[in-house]
Structure 1
């Protein structure tokens, strides 16, 4: 790891002014490049950032610490019944928060099942959403892949058992954030602030960037911009939700597949609308639009859940070693739909 300056800041404006580079931009510059002499990147919990620095994939001149900025770790109910979660909120605090557990249990489940207990007490929600892919070709210095400014995705013809089954023809990463799967299903909005105190609000689903928009970044964070909060809309009375994942190990492991389901169910048991999002399936959380359409206007039964689960795989293009994910996701979508309406317990 190269030497760097450490700057703790007290305001969002100060942090944004010093954050001259996003991590994605900084990683496209060689460590020996003269441009690194003035680069500054943000440090939240630092779980992913320090890994990248130790692996010699990132060598910023300055780390801008957000730890001392007041209010960034606050969870607040909004006047309209929504929820504002500060970007510095740890995954452990999010999972344990009474209001989150009562009204947004799928989010509490996703946060509480991420990583290990030690990491959850340090890792922040903002850092979790902005972490870089866990693809081993991307993480290895020996492979100059598309994400690092190279000309090839080595996973397409290589070891791809854990890679994407959707939108994978140019770059086969899967998005690394389990929380993002649930937040996209819930219609979450991210707040971003710049050095001039201007605040940009954008749906998380639109903030996350697929390979067709940009091959070298996973989100639309800009230089001199800080992710300050994630805002959840109010939960209507008829909304049900659930999240399930399957991993090789019960803890400290990224999922092979995870699914978030949010359903608006009428008094007669009919699904008015559905939001079904697959994680570990594509470079960004994948909205299963055909599955959502299959449930709309239907009573939620085992048969309806099976039909929706089958529809969720529409358009899948598995690679040479990850065809198993098709059956895995189909089963998980069905189970998560049924769990959301209490027809199947987790």
Structure 2
């Protein structure tokens, strides 16, 4: 890891002005010695990338001291979660636990307690993929500006089963799976004070849109907050994940479900999102359609779970994910309405 300077930005505008580029753009330049200024919050992923010699900034600009950036507050348009709020703070917050239990569960079981007390929601959403070829300085893959995805014919047991060509990464954020199901928005601001609000599902981009980045964050722009709309009356939700270990590990598969029901327990709308399945959280539209207009029972859940895998293109070593997802989806649906 090469030496770098640090700066604690006092305001959002100062931080945005100081950061010369995004992490994705920095990593696609030839070689890690690129001398740029990059943003950091908790710094979990940034320090990993530095230690792996994948990026070598001249300066890290910390946003962690910006007043209000870690606030969790209720507003007329929903619950605002500051981008610098830690996963531990979110998991413990009374409003999150009461109204968005699936999110509390997802962030409360991410990584280890030590990491959850440092890692921020903004950093979690913006972290780079965990593909071992991408994380190795020895491989210049498509996502780092090279010409080949080594996972397609290599060690791909943890990789995508949907939309996995030409790049087979899975999105690394478990929180994103739930947030997309909840219809979350992200607030962004730049160095000039201009702000924009984008639905998270549209903010995250797959390889078909851009091979080198996972989101639409622009240079000199900061993710400032995540906004959760208030769930409709009668909405039920659940999040389930399965990993090789119960803790301190990325999931092999995770599922977030939001189901809206009428007074007769008939589903009027459903959101079923799969994590660790595709380069961005994957919306299982066929499964959502299979539930609409039906009373949710075991048969309906099984049918939706099978439909969710329509169009899957597993790779040589991750076919096991099909059965794993089918089981998790069925269980998540039934858990949500129990």
TM-score when scaled to structure 2?
Answer: 0.99
Number of residue pairs aligned between Structure 1 and Structure 2: 338
- Partner in structure 1 of residue 293 of structure 2: 297
3-state SS of the aligned residue for 1:53? helix
Map 1:113-262 onto structure 2 (within 5 A): 113-262=109-258
2:64 equivalent among 67, 80, 87: 67
Q: Output the CA distance in 1 between the equivalents of 2:46 and 2:149.
A: 23
Structure 2 residues not aligned, in runs of 5+: none
Map 1:257-276 onto structure 2 (within 5 A): 257-276=253-272
Give the C-alpha shift of residue 32 in structure 1: 6.4
CA shift in 2, pair 1:78/1:32, >3 Å: closer
- Partner in structure 2 of residue 90 of structure 1: 86
- Partner in structure 1 of residue 18 of structure 2: 18
Give the C-alpha shift of residue 31 in structure 1: 4.5
- Partner in structure 2 of residue 3 of structure 1: 3
Q: Output the CA distance in 1 between the equivalents of 2:107 and 2:218.
A: 26
Map 1:22-33 onto structure 2 (within 5 A): 22-31=22-31
Q: Output the CA distance in 2 between the equivalents of 1:29 and 1:320.
A: 31
Are residue 283 (structure 1) and residue 261 (structure 2) matched? no
Q: Output the CA distance in 2 between the equivalents of 1:117 and 1:30.
A: 36
3-state SS of the aligned residue for 1:220? coil
CA shift in 2, pair 1:338/1:62, >3 Å: same
- Partner in structure 2 of residue 105 of structure 1: 101
- Report runs of 4+ in structure 1 exceeding 6 Å deviation: none
- Partner in structure 2 of residue 341 of structure 1: 337
Structure 1 residues not aligned, in runs of 5+: none
Give the C-alpha shift of residue 30 in structure 1: 3.4
Q: Output the CA distance in 1 between the equivalents of 2:28 and 2:297.
A: 49
Q: Output the CA distance in 2 between the equivalents of 1:32 and 1:200.
A: 31
Q: Output the CA distance in 2 between the equivalents of 1:168 and 1:144.
A: 18
